[in-house]
């Protein structure tokens, strides 16, 4: 990407054998850091998509230092088809990193994103939300397995965001997590869920992006709604069999060690699986589907750092 004058510039991320991914570069009035913001990796997670759509209208390049690269809808066909998968091959893009030119379209999309974005980013912000069957509390994942320097920087960045929780993450195969393995500081924000969005959630997501720009010195912003509590020892529970799923806690709810968090019952009403809290903690998100299949994601929870 060549050096450009102050302004907004659309450009295309070319994907081998597929449609290009649309992006927008905003160049500020002075030199500074580059923030990359991606939305719609999962096409049915709408809050981040709408937040970027609105920000592209709001931001005035002459007020920025540095640059912001927005990818408003990474998975466009998934967005228009109302699915988190890439429809052309049925793959989950966030499970296809590192990408490959030798595999199906989704893997080639991942490869194109890596090649086009990682080298340009001083920081990468990936916007997600709960899927069609998920209810969650607003949170940000930051990496604790990509080296001390990146961990310290992303923890400081997460602390600047108005969210309920900041969650330690050891993931390696997503857009943001693979970026951190390649030396690019990155975090992933989760807002919304259930296949919906609202103006209130969109405004909160936009505020998080403004806060990240402030952290990087791109645009001053000093408003805060809340300070996130840090979550460690995150656990992710899946269904051991198909059945009827009953979650007895709501997203954001605290619980005590030994408390029942949820259960799966069979057709006969007998309990097939029972999930009890291994420690005092908080529920981060859960599926609100009544029927679940074996292997389905049920919930995630964790312990608040510094609390026993």
- Go through the domains of the chain in sequence order and give each one's CATH number: 7-227 (3.40.630.10), 232-304 (2.40.50.100)
Percent of the chain with pLDDT over 70: 98
pLDDT at 96 > cutoff 80: yes
Average confidence (pLDDT) over 1-8: 79
The C-alpha torsion from 292 through 43 and 165 to 186, rounded to 10°, is 130
Q: Can you tell me the distance from the alpha carbon of 264 to that of 140, in angstroms, rounded to the nearest whole number?
A: 29
Per-residue pLDDT tens digits for 206-221: 999 999 999 999 999 9
Answer yes or no: are the C-beta atoms of 107 and 100 closer than 8 Å.
yes
- pLDDT tens, position by position, 36-73: 999 999 999 999 999 999 999 999 999 999 999 999 99
Mean pLDDT for all residues in the chain: 96
Model pLDDT, residue 307: 64
How does residue 306 score in pLDDT terms, banded at 50, 70 and 90?
confident
Q: How confident is the model at residue 119 (pLDDT cuts 50, 70, 90)?
A: very high
> What's the whole-number mean pLDDT along residues 72-85?
97
98-107 burial: b if 16+ Cβ within 10 Å, else e: ebeeeebbbb
- Annotate 48-104 with DSSP letters as a single string: HHHHHHHHHHH--GGG-EEEEEEES-SSHHHHHHT-SSBTTTTB-GGG--S--TTS-
Sign of CA dihedral 277, 136, 157, 184: positive
pLDDT tier, 33 (very low <50, low <70, confident <90, very high otherwise): very high
Strand order through the sheet with 271-276:
271-276, 260-265, 243-247, 291-292
Strands (E), the chain: 7-13, 21-27, 30-39, 65-71, 123-128, 134-136, 139-143, 165-169, 186-190, 229-238, 243-247, 254-255, 260-265, 271-276, 281-287, 291-292, 297-304
pLDDT score at 4: 77
Query: Please, what's the b/e burial string for 290-305 (b: 16 or more CB within 10 A of its CB; e: otherwise)?
Result: eebeeebbbbbbbbbe
Query: pLDDT tens digits for 120-150?
Result: 999 999 999 998 999 999 999 999 989 999 9
Q: What is the pLDDT of residue 145?
A: 87
177-213: pLDDT as tens digits: 999 999 999 999 999 999 999 999 999 999 999 999 9
Decide if 287 contacts 278 (C-beta within 8 A): no
CB 207 within 8 A of CB 225: yes
**In the chain, what's the furthest Cα-to-Cα distance?**
68
Tokens (6 digits) for 108: 């080639």
Indicate if the pLDDT at residue 1 is higher than 90: no
Quote the CA–CA distance of 262 and 151 in Å, as a whole number.
33
pTM of the predicted model, to two decimals? Answer: 0.95
């Amino acid at each position: 990407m060549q050096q450009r004058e102050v302004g907004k510039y659309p450009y295309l991320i070319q994907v081998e054998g597929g449609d290009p991914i649309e992006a927008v570069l905003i160049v500020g009035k002075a030199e500074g850091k580059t923030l990359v913001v991606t939305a719609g990796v999962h096409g049915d997670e709408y809050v981040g998509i709408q937040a970027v759509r609105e920000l592209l209208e709001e931001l005035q390049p002459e007020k920025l230092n540095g640059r912001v690269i927005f990818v408003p809808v990474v998975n466009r066909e998934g967005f228009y088809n109302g699915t988190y998968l890439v429809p052309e091959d049925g793959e989950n893009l966030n499970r296809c990193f590192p990408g490959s030119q030798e595999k199906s379209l989704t893997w080639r999309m991942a490869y194109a994103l890596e090649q086009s974005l990682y080298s340009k980013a001083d920081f990468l912000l990936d916007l997600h939300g709960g899927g069609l069957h998920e209810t969650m509390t607003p949170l940000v994942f930051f990496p604790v397995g990509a080296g001390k320097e990146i961990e310290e920087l992303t923890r400081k960045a997460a602390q600047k965001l108005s969210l309920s929780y900041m969650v330690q993450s050891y993931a390696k195969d997503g857009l943001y997590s693979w970026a951190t393995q390649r030396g690019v500081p990155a975090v992933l924000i989760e807002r919304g869920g259930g296949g919906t969005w609202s103006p209130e959630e969109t405004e909160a997501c936009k505020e998080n992006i403004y806060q990240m720009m402030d952290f990087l010195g791109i645009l001053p912003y000093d408003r805060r709604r809340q300070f996130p509590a840090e979550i460690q020892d995150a656990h992710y529970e899946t269904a051991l069999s198909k059945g009827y799923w009953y979650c007895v806690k709501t997203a954001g709810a605290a619980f005590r060690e030994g408390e029942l968090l949820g259960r799966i019952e069979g057709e006969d009403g007998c309990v097939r699986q029972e999930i009890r809290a291994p420690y005092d903690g908080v529920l981060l998100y859960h599926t609100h589907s009544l029927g679940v299949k074996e292997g389905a994601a049920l919930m995630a929870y964790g312990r608040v750092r510094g609390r026993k």
